[in-house]
Structure 1
Amino acid sequence: MSPRDHVLVLPGGAYAERAEHEGAPVAEWLRGLGVGASVLDYPVLTRHPEPLRSVRAAVAAARADGAERVGVLGFSAGAHAAGMAAYAPGAAAGERPDLALLCYPVVSMQLATHAGSRENLIGPVADDALRASTSLDRLVTADAPPTFVWHTAADEAVPVEHAYLLGQALAAAGVPHELHVFPDGLHGIGLAADEPGADAWTSLAGAWLSRVR
């Protein structure tokens, strides 16, 4: 990517809040790589499809402001919102990001794990059709944008099964992607500067950003 490109950063927070440490410090790191970046305050404590509409509008706005390519980088529930923008059908021209970086993402709304994000986004009694239509692994198609995913095997809040489901879907669809799983690190570690092993994700992501087309 180049300074003419832009990455929208979506902090996590179970669709109830937005974690500060997954916002401004991450945008600063991206700018240090020479990539334009800003934090997106997508709506929380609101139901689907409001977060998706917000991300799509922000992608379109970044293009209107002159960005040649627009990426999304999200953490946890923010990664789910970013992934919805990357994979869900129905995007208007200019609303779909060109690449996605998903950090310990909430992927499946059909799993029992991490019910908080699911209930905040689609309610506690959502039927299976709605849960499927908001599960990233069920939305991936061959034209999905290149994707970088990382997770930790020690994550108990959003188990690594979520990342594996997405990796399988991306592989099955032939979508260019990288998937990295580190053994240690609790959920919500952000830039992971103090977590040996997982701290490598930033260098891996930076190298991927320099290669992705």
Structure 2
Amino acid sequence: MKKGFIFILILASNMLHAQETIKLYDVVPNSKKTDIAEKSETAADGITRVSQVVSPELIMYRPENPNGTAVLICPGGGYRILAITHEGHDVAKALNQWGVTAFVLKYRLPDDKTMMDKTIGPLQDAERGIQLIRQNARQWGIDPRKVGVMGFSAGGHLAASLSTKYNQEVIENHKHISLRPDFSVLVYPVISFSDSLGHTGSRDNLIGKKASPDKIKKFSNELLVNKKTPPAFLVHAKDDGGVPFGNSIAYYEALQKNKVPAEIKLFEKGGHGFGMYNKKESGDWMAELRQWLIKVKFLNK
């Protein structure tokens, strides 16, 4: 009886977080022929880190009762790996509890061995992710006017890049589907590539160690915000030793200057990479995010 009950619980859990893996492309653009194979390693901290992605995918998590809102999730990892558990799959499951259809983006990591132009590879995959979600919106029970993007750390840079460069199409888009997210959630994000704020590892991995000042500006999202940039919710800890919290401040102030709705949650402590749960300080930023999404009308009560 006990075993049967456990089986029912497992079955119910699997049904609640129904997953489907979707290839982004039939033929991956901007790619070189390579023998490099994807790697996935789970460390002692329980986090699975994926590297050497050559075949990008969406992992769709469908809620039991979808409410029309969808979120594309970009895990972080310095454009070197994807911390795909606590900044991807776990987040998708939590969003499902709100009725949100969630998509974990397993995007390509910049590499001259696998790409002709590594600087656009991640953005291509993010644009393609949004494109696929809107293309299949009716089939998946999604409102195409309620499609957001969420990014952690370097994934936050990718999410912010999608939010500021959505008109710079780096994929084929013959049907002219909007690639602009309707909102963004940026968690301890890399925003700037400047010397004063930038995360050197992310910058070097994406645009190289000898990038020109003009190229650095081109990839510094705080400089690219305009009045049509999507509303944003930002989260950062002031003691973040990896990505200075000034990144979030700079983006928030740029949004404010352009009269774009934005909210920022700053923790005094928390460090970097805490995911949904900051164990160093009380305060549930996910609950605050939910209230903000309701306020800006991307989520029902």
| Superposition TM-score tier, normalisation by shorter sequence | over 0.9
**Cross-structure match for 2:218:** 133
Alignment partner, residue 90 of structure 1: 168
Q: Which of 124, 131, 153 is 1:53 aligned to?
A: 124
Q: Counterparts of 1:181 and 1:166 in 2: how far apart (Å)?
A: 13
Does structure 1 retain, via aligned residues, the 8 Å contact 2:110–2:119? no
* Structure 1 unmatched runs, 5+: none
Look up the equivalent residue of 1:90 and give its one-letter code: Q
2: CA distance between counterparts of 1:17 and 1:73?
A: 17
RMSD: 1.4
The yes-or-no answer on 1:170 pairing with 2:248 is no
Unpaired stretches in structure 2, ≥5 consecutive residues: 1-65, 112-117, 170-175
Matched to 2:296, the amino acid is V
Instruction: Give the TM-score taking structure 2 as reference length.
Output: 0.67
> How many residues of Structure 1 are paired with residues of Structure 2 in the alignment?
211
1:15 is aligned to 79
User: Aligned residue for 2:25?
Assistant: none
Identical positions, percent: 35
Paired position in structure 2 for 1:73: 150
Partner of 2:271: 186
Name the counterpart of 2:35. Answer: none
**Aligned residue in 2 for 1:201:** 285
- Structure number with greater CO (CA < 8 Å, separation at least 6) is 1
Is contact 2:270–2:279 with CA below 8 Å preserved after alignment?
A: no
Decide whether the 8 Å contact of 1:107 with 1:137 is kept in 2: yes
Q: After TM superposition, which residue ranges in structure 1, 4 or more long, deviate above 4 angstroms? A: none
Higher helix proportion (structure 1 or 2): 1
Cα deviation per residue 1:122-178 (whole Å; 9 max; x = unaligned)?
A: 110111111111111011000111110110001010011111111111111111110
**Distance in 2 separating the partners of 1:24 and 1:120:** 24
- Residues in 2 aligned to 1:107 and 1:32: alpha-carbon distance in whole angstroms: 29
SS of equivalent to 1:26:
helix
Structure 1 counterpart of 2:246: 161
- Say if 1:3 and 1:35, in contact at 8 Å, map to a contact too: yes
Moved more, 92-101 or 54-63: 92-101
Instruction: Tell me if structure 1 keeps the 8 A contact 2:70–2:100.
Output: yes
The answer to whether the 8 Å contact 1:17/1:45 transfers is: no
Which residue number corresponds to residue 95 of structure 2? 30
User: Which residue is equivalent to 1:4?
Assistant: 68
Counterparts of residues 80-119 of structure 1 (less than 5 Å): 80-88=157-165, 89-91=167-169, 93-112=177-196, 113-119=198-204
Q: Deviations over 1:19-40 (max 9, x none)?
A: 0221100111111111110210
Shift of 1:84: 0.5
How many angstroms apart in 2 are the aligned matches of 1:204 and 1:195?
17
C-alpha distance in structure 2 between counterparts of 1:128 and 1:193, whole Å = 35
Quick check: 1:8–1:38 contact (8 Å CA) kept in 2? yes
Residue number in structure 2 paired with 1:123: 208
Considering only CA atoms, is the larger Rg found in Structure 1 or Structure 2? 2
* Amino acid paired to 2:178: G
